[in-house]
Structure 1
Amino acid sequence: MAKLKKKCDERLERWFEEAMERIKKATGARTQVQLAEVLEVRQSSISDAKRRCSVPSDWFLKLYRSHGLNPNWLSDGQEPVYLNASRGGVPAENLLRETPAAYGRANARSRVVQVNSMAGADGAAASWTPQPVEDLCIPESFHRPELVVVRVDTAAMEPLIQRGAFVGVDAAQRQHPDGDLCAVHFPHQGLLVRRVFCQGDSFVLRAEDKSHADISVPAAEMAARTLGRVIWVIQSLGQQG
């Protein structure tokens, strides 16, 4: 009987993907064929590396010689990006912005973002507009081009999301998969974070706290009311309202 190929564990697979993403960004290689050309290896070598979740050390050496890249940055995101910046084709700051270290690592970068009230700038308006109330430092990997951060001011989603929590909403994601958390706007109420479920020609918005009644919204109105999908929450464990 043929031996089963050993799969990479989740941690090693994540490390490999992050290292390869840094290599691609730094070299401009968009496809596996282009990457093989940059590394001067066969395309099958890249497939083998992916299967093993292992980047050969000589690839790091080649990239230092050809692009001046720091092997430690390629491997683990440890700055500086370049050991020989004169060979670099992409500004280091661009690479750091596009390929942040994973959250939780000592070298992970952060970014200050604007936090808005859920009420918005004009509570009576038909659409929600931001009203800044404070700033928040978040991991760079939490950022998105169309990120909107709001501070929760109700207990409707407790215990899942506590009053006072910071919620990151990706305004580029406006779909409504059943059960997903979305930020939906209502005049005079502001943004409401709810689980959204499709029921026929309408959507039902449901709070975690069952004392809050479900809200039914015609499907034709949801696109205009939806700010985006919730992608992260930052809060203190055991935080009380």
Structure 2
Amino acid sequence: MKQNIPFESFFIRASQVLGLQSQQDLARALGVNRSAISQAKRREAVPYAWVAILAKEHSLSPQWLATGAGEPHQPGTGPEEGFVQIPKVRARLCAGGGSFEVDDAVEEYYAFSSAWLLRKGVPGMMVLMDVFGNSMEPLIQEGDMALIDQSKKTIIAGAIYAVGVEETVMLKRIERRPGALVLRSDNTGYAPIVLQGEELEQVRIIGKMIWSCREYR
């Protein structure tokens, strides 16, 4: 019979390698509700499925996550190399009117400096997404890839965010106004999008863009 995995020690280990700052961060990393985390903590028993999820998504050792024995990462992927694997998802960010491609399936992984990621935010909550459209030119162009930290949802005026509006996903600068949100484009050919009233119920801040890159052909 498998022994229960104590919650607190599991949470400490996961936080150590993924940069988690709260149990809510753990819930996001696992794709579960916050209530599931509370239940696991109360029962002092972490589901083995959670170990498998984190191990697969972040190239971690399941044994280390569950018991603390051995090394945290699978060979060739851990902090001894100084890198963390960040998933690139199929969903695309629209620098325009909005993308209907919101699939969160992972296509591949990219290695980033673990020290750099930890300075920027919560590595376990970061994803890479392709950009299409020209509304954020000249800073961000079609075909660029953006790194989004889903732990950063607090709006900072002028910062760039991945934002969902109804069934679309966009990349915009966000500004708060009394009773309204304004989504701004860098390209002056695009008018600001002002959302207010019931429209605000359809808005979700996915995360803050902390980096982007461009592949030249």
Q: TM-score, normalised by structure 2?
A: 0.52
1:7-35: CA deviations, max 9, x gaps?
xxxxxxxxxxxxxxxxxx7xxxxxxxxxx
Counting only pairs closer than 5 Å after superposition, residues 32-181 of structure 1 correspond to structure 2 as 91-94=70-73, 100=79, 107-111=81-85, 113-118=87-92, 123=100, 129-132=102-105, 134-141=107-114, 142=117, 144-181=123-160
Displacement of 1:174 in angstroms is 1.0
Q: Is the Cα contact below 8 Å between 2:146 and 2:211 reproduced in 1?
A: yes
Taking a change above 3 Å as real, the CA distance of residues 233 and 186 of structure 1, as seen in their structure-2 partners, is same
Taking a change above 3 Å as real, the CA distance of residues 216 and 134 of structure 1, as seen in their structure-2 partners, is same
Q: Is the Cα contact below 8 Å between 2:159 and 2:208 reproduced in 1?
A: yes
1:206 aligned to 184, 189, 192, which one? 184
- Bigger mean CA deviation after superposition, 90-99 or 207-216: 90-99
Taking a change above 3 Å as real, the CA distance of residues 96 and 169 of structure 1, as seen in their structure-2 partners, is farther
Q: Name the % identity.
A: 21
| Distance of 2:173 and 2:89 partners within structure 1 | 22
> SS state of the match for residue 93, structure 1?
coil
* Relative contact order higher in (CA < 8 Å, ≥ 6 apart): 2
Q: Is the Cα contact below 8 Å between 1:174 and 1:223 reproduced in 2?
A: no
Taking a change above 3 Å as real, the CA distance of residues 226 and 213 of structure 1, as seen in their structure-2 partners, is same
Displacement of 1:136 in angstroms is 4.1
Displacement of 1:96 in angstroms is 9.5
Q: Is the Cα contact below 8 Å between 1:117 and 1:133 reproduced in 2?
A: no
Displacement of 1:115 in angstroms is 2.6
Displacement of 1:119 in angstroms is 6.7
Taking a change above 3 Å as real, the CA distance of residues 152 and 92 of structure 1, as seen in their structure-2 partners, is same
Taking a change above 3 Å as real, the CA distance of residues 202 and 96 of structure 1, as seen in their structure-2 partners, is farther
Displacement of 1:196 in angstroms is 0.9
Q: Which amino acid aligns with 2:91?
A: S
The yes-or-no answer on 1:218 pairing with 2:192 is: no
**Which is strand-richer, 1 or 2?**
2
Stretches of structure 1 that go unaligned for 5 or more consecutive residues are: 1-24, 26-88, 102-106
| Distance of 1:90 and 1:158 partners within structure 2 | 49
Stretches of structure 2 that go unaligned for 5 or more consecutive residues are: 1-15, 17-67
2:161 is matched with 182
Q: Is the Cα contact below 8 Å between 1:203 and 1:219 reproduced in 2?
A: no
Taking a change above 3 Å as real, the CA distance of residues 212 and 96 of structure 1, as seen in their structure-2 partners, is farther
Displacement of 1:100 in angstroms is 3.7
Tell me the number of residue pairs that the alignment of Structure 1 and Structure 2 aligns. Answer: 141
Counting only pairs closer than 5 Å after superposition, residues 21-40 of structure 1 correspond to structure 2 as none
Q: Which amino acid aligns with 1:135?
A: E
Taking a change above 3 Å as real, the CA distance of residues 97 and 196 of structure 1, as seen in their structure-2 partners, is farther
Taking a change above 3 Å as real, the CA distance of residues 234 and 119 of structure 1, as seen in their structure-2 partners, is closer
Displacement of 1:218 in angstroms is 2.5
Q: Which amino acid aligns with 2:138?
A: P
